[in-house]
Amino acid sequence: MRGAPPAHIVDEVEALKREAGIAACSFINSGMTLGLGTGSTVRYTVLEIGRRIVEEGLEVKGVPTSEATRHLAEGLGIPLLTLEQAGEIDLTIDGADEFDPDFQLIKGGGGALTREKRVAAASRAMVVVADVRKQVPVLGGFDLPLEVDIGDWEGVRDELDLICPGSVRLRGGQTPYVTDNGGHILDCEFGPTISEPSQLEQLILSVDGVVEVGLFVGMCDAVVMATPSEVLTMVKQGGRLD
């Protein structure tokens, strides 16, 4: 059995994630309404926004994608809006569990995929902060999360068993995970087979009881990626930030 990586490796990875999270703030200007993502890497982005508000007078408003992010942002003094109050959002910065060469994403490992997707859909542009482990040639190595209505999860699981080549599991098992919206998460083991994410997204969304699927298609415009040696910014050709 493999042990945990040495502490200095963990520290180096964390330092690069922090650098990437801060680098993503280069897309932010005063006056913007920002979608504030969820996850360990984009947490550093939120912390940097808070620092810039205090130290540089940055004037922005945030729309949090989870209760965890809302609590963090409130503690940093970032003015917040609900999605309904914000209307159109200038820019969302969020993490991802996987991204492919076409800037398509799998998200939802943290359980916030429904709010994350609604905020991203309301945004003029989206920047993803990630580390190099999240870059894949084909989506699906990371299990695809779905949010489902609590009362319908067994029926959805049975339907997904007909679609998904691997297992379909209720997150949390005997003690099911409950999302901020009061739903459950099913994790679907597709393997690296999702070459047509748009088609799969529509197929899964047609299943009764599915609230949202963690495929983010045509939403991401740039990725700020931490590698073992540097932070790279990749902008989608023809995207909204190109």
> Which amino acids are annotated catalytic?
116
Query: Which residue from 20, 185, 189 is spatially nearest to 113, judged by alpha carbons?
Result: 185
The number of beta carbons lying within 10 Å of the beta carbon of residue 7 is: 8
Residues contacting residue 85 through CB under 8 Å, at least 6 positions apart: none
| Nearest-angstrom CA–CA distance, 137 and 104 | 11
Residue 147 β-bridge partners:
185, 212
Let me know: does 236 contact 222? Beta carbons within 8 Å. yes
CA quadruple 181, 122, 131, 200: dihedral, nearest 10: 70
Burial classification of residue 36, based on how many CB atoms lie within 10 Å of its CB (0-12 exposed, 13-18 middle, 19 or more buried): buried
